[in-house]
Structure 1
C-alpha cells in the first residue's frame, strides 16, 4: 500500500528495510537456527554498520549522534525494524532507550543531556523507565503511585517499590516516577527523577519471568523489580519541571505508543509474508493451502485490518504535531495491538507445525506480541478513555414523549 509518507521518511524507511534484509534478518535466522545468541560485540558491530549507512538512532537530533528525523519522518523506519526480533536494537531505536532518549531530549537540561543523553544515544550506557508498582501501587491507574521523593537540603530522598521496569536489569540510569508533593493530586504532584542505578539504596531484586522472556541476544532487555530505599540524588536530577512528571510521561507515552504500533505492524507484516509463502507451497487435499477459500478470505481480512491500523497510526502521528491527540493515540494503540495479535495468531495457525516450531520466527513473535495488549496501556484503559471522550461529547437532548402502547388497538388492527 502507498501511504504517501514524505520523501525523507520513505528514503530512510527504504534504506532501513535494505539493512534489515541484507544484514539483520540473515543474522537473526542464523541465531534461531543454531541457538547461539547474538553477542554484545556483534550488536555493537551492527551499530557500526548502521552508522556507516546513516541509519543509527534516526529519532535523535544530529548534535547528539542521531539522524535528526522528526517524529512522522521516522515512523515508517520503525515499521521496517519491527520485522526482526533484533531490528530496533540494531539501529538504536529500541524501547525503553528510544523513549528515554526522547524524554531527555524534550525536557532535559543541557547538563543532563551531556551527562546522560549523549552516552545513551551512543550505546555507552542504557536506561530504564521506572513507573509501574506492585499490587495496590501505580499501574493502569497511575493515581495510585506510592513511591515518594522528599527534599532534604539539596537532595531528593526516594523510597518505593517498582516492578516491570523495562531495561532495569542492565540500566545505568533510571527515570523514576515519584510523588514529590503529597498534598497535591498525583497529576500535579509527581516528578520524574534521574537515578543512577549504582546509587546506594537501589536494589535490583530480580528479572521478572514473563511470557516471551527468552532472547536471541546475549544481553536481554528484561523487566526488573527494583526497591528504592532512602536513595539520595541531587535536586538537579529532576527531569523537567518539578511536579510535572505526569505531563512529561504523557508526552513520552503518546509517541512511544505509536512507535510500538509501527514496530508491531512490521512484525505482523513479516508474519503474513511467511504465512503466505507457506500456504503457496504446502499441499493438502488436492491443492495448495493458498487455494483454499477459507484461508484466502482470512488473509484478505488480515491485510485489510493491517492497512487500517497503519493508516490510524499515521493519522494519530499527524494529530500529535499540534495537539496531545490522546484519543487518536488511544484508538490507534488499541486497534493495532489487537490486529497484530490476531494476525500473528493467524500466521501460526496457517503454518501448522512449522508455526509452533522455532525454526521460523513466528513462535517468538507469538510470545512477544501478546504483551502489546497490556504494555503502554492495557486495552481496557484505552477503551475507558475513548468511551469517556465519546460520552463527554454527547449533548443533552430532549427525548420526545412516545405514545403509550395500546395493546388492544394493536390486536384490533392486526386482526382487521
Structure 2
C-alpha cells in the first residue's frame, strides 16, 4: 500500500489492513493468472479459473473483504479503498468476490432482502459459492437507459408470478446460480429472486464484445412462462424501480472503484516502459510528448479518486442520489478512459498487443463508458436536474 493511502483520513486501521492484504494478494497471486488460457471462445475466464482463484482468496482471508465476518460492512469510503486494490488486475474482483454484478446484488439483498431470502440467496454469494445475474436491460424497444420502457411482464397465477419477456446484455447469466429479474405488473416494475438455471430462462445468444473480463459474457435471454413463488418477490408489486435505485447508484460507484485500480495498473506499466525505453538519444519519459501524457494520467487518476471518495462519503450519510452517482460515473469513466488511452499511446506498437495487460485494460475501461448508463444519458439526467432546480429557485424567489 502506498504512503498516501496510509496517511489520508477516513480509514480505520482494520480497513487499511484489509486493503493491504487485498493489494498483496492481487499483485502476488492473481496477476500471474492473467496469462491463464482457461477462457471460453469469447475470451471470458472460465468458472474453473475463477473458482481456483476464489479458493486461494479464501485461504488468504481476502474473500468478500468488504463484508466483515460478523456480517458488518466497511464504510463506503473504506470499501472504495479495498475495491480499488482489487481492481489492480482484471481477475482481481473475480478472485476476491467484489465484482459486478455480484457485488451490487449482494448490496441490494443486504439492504432489502427478507431473512429467508438472505439465507437462501445472499449467503451463498457472500461466501463466494456461486455467481449471480441481474436481468433488467431488454432488446430494442424495451428497457435500457430508460427502464420505464420495460416490456417483460409478470402476472399473478395462484400463489405464483408468471414472467414472460426478453432480456439483453445480461452479464454472467451463463453459469449463474442466482438471478434477480425485473418485470412489469399492472402496478409497475417488480423484482424477483430466482434459482438458476431454469428451463423457462433460455440463453439465445452470447455476443462477442469489446470486453472479455466476465465469466458468462453478456447474454441475450428469452423468458417463457417462468413461474416464481410469490414470496420470492422483493418488496411489493410496483416497487421494482425503487429497489433498482437502491442497487444501481452504489453499483455505479463500485464500478468506478474497480476500474480505478485497473487504470492505476495500466499507468504503472506505461510509466515503467517510458522510463526504460530509449528513443532519439534519451528515455521516453524525457520527451515532453510522453512525459506530459503521464503527468495528465496522474491528474486524471487523482480527480477520479477524489470523486469516488466524495460520492462514497455521500453514500455513507444515506443521501446518495441519482445526480451524485451520475456525476461520479461520468467523471470517473471518462477520466479513466483517457488514462487507458494514453497508456496505449505511450507503449506505441506494444500497447496494441497482448504483450502487456494495457490493451486489455483499455478494452475493459472503454466499455465502462457504456454500461450502467452511457455518459450522454447521465449528462441528460443532470441537465434535467439543473432545469428543475432553476425553476424551483425562480418560484421561491417569486414567492
After TM superposition, the score normalised by the length of structure 2 is 0.90
1:26 to partner: Cα distance: 2.4
Determine helix, strand or coil for the equivalent of 1:100. helix
Is contact 1:161–1:228 with CA below 8 Å preserved after alignment? Answer: yes
Aligned partners of 1:180, 1:58: CA distance in 2, in Å? 37
Aligned partners of 1:226, 1:371: CA distance in 2, in Å? 21
Is contact 2:168–2:219 with CA below 8 Å preserved after alignment? Answer: yes
Aligned partners of 2:136, 2:32: CA distance in 1, in Å? 36
Aligned partners of 1:228, 1:20: CA distance in 2, in Å? 38
1:169 to partner: Cα distance: 1.1
- Larger mean Cα displacement after TM superposition, 323-332 or 155-164: 323-332
Aligned partners of 1:49, 1:257: CA distance in 2, in Å? 28
- Which residue in the other structure is 2:153 paired with? 148
Q: 1:270 to 1:90 in 2, by over 3 A?
A: same
1:290 to partner: Cα distance: 0.5
- Which residue in the other structure is 1:92 paired with? 97
Q: 1:376 to 1:28 in 2, by over 3 A?
A: same
- Which residue in the other structure is 1:201 paired with? 200
Determine helix, strand or coil for the equivalent of 2:257. helix
Determine helix, strand or coil for the equivalent of 1:137. coil
- Which residue in the other structure is 2:249 paired with? 254
Q: 1:68 to 1:393 in 2, by over 3 A?
A: closer
- Which residue in the other structure is 1:163 paired with? 168
Determine helix, strand or coil for the equivalent of 2:173. coil
- Which residue in the other structure is 1:265 paired with? 260
Aligned partners of 2:110, 2:356: CA distance in 1, in Å? 38
2:337 aligned to which of 312, 316, 341: 341
Q: Number of residues paired by the alignment?
A: 383
- Which residue in the other structure is 1:243 paired with? 238
Q: 1:179 to 1:38 in 2, by over 3 A?
A: closer
Aligned partners of 2:45, 2:195: CA distance in 1, in Å? 27
Write out per-residue CA displacement over residues 36-95 of structure 1, whole angstroms, 9 at most, x where no aligned residue. 99764553343233223331112335356xx74233322111101111010001111111
User: For structure 2, which runs of at least 5 residues remain unmatched after alignment?
Assistant: none
1:5 to partner: Cα distance: 3.5
Aligned partners of 1:199, 1:86: CA distance in 2, in Å? 28
Determine helix, strand or coil for the equivalent of 1:396. helix
2:54 aligned to which of 40, 47, 50: 47
Aligned partners of 1:62, 1:159: CA distance in 2, in Å? 39
- Larger mean Cα displacement after TM superposition, 260-269 or 105-114: 105-114
- Which residue in the other structure is 2:67 paired with? 60
Aligned partners of 1:262, 1:284: CA distance in 2, in Å? 35
- Which residue in the other structure is 1:396 paired with? 394
Is contact 2:101–2:134 with CA below 8 Å preserved after alignment? Answer: yes
1:120 to partner: Cα distance: 2.1
Determine helix, strand or coil for the equivalent of 2:137. coil
Aligned partners of 1:382, 1:40: CA distance in 2, in Å? 33
2:22 aligned to which of 10, 16, 19: 16
- Which residue in the other structure is 2:76 paired with? 71
Is contact 1:59–1:71 with CA below 8 Å preserved after alignment? Answer: no
User: For structure 1, which runs of at least 5 residues remain unmatched after alignment?
Assistant: 398-416
Q: Where do residues 360-399 of structure 1 align in structure 2 (5 Å cutoff)?
A: 360-394=356-390, 395-396=393-394
Determine helix, strand or coil for the equivalent of 1:62. coil
Aligned partners of 1:53, 1:137: CA distance in 2, in Å? 44
1:343 to partner: Cα distance: 0.7
Q: Where do residues 81-160 of structure 1 align in structure 2 (5 Å cutoff)?
A: 81-160=86-165
Aligned partners of 1:25, 1:390: CA distance in 2, in Å? 44
Aligned partners of 1:232, 1:71: CA distance in 2, in Å? 36
- Which residue in the other structure is 1:406 paired with? none
- Which residue in the other structure is 2:191 paired with? 192
Aligned partners of 2:350, 2:102: CA distance in 1, in Å? 34
1:361 to partner: Cα distance: 0.5
Is contact 2:80–2:257 with CA below 8 Å preserved after alignment? Answer: yes
After TM superposition, the score normalised by the length of structure 1 is 0.87
Q: 1:41 to 1:211 in 2, by over 3 A?
A: closer
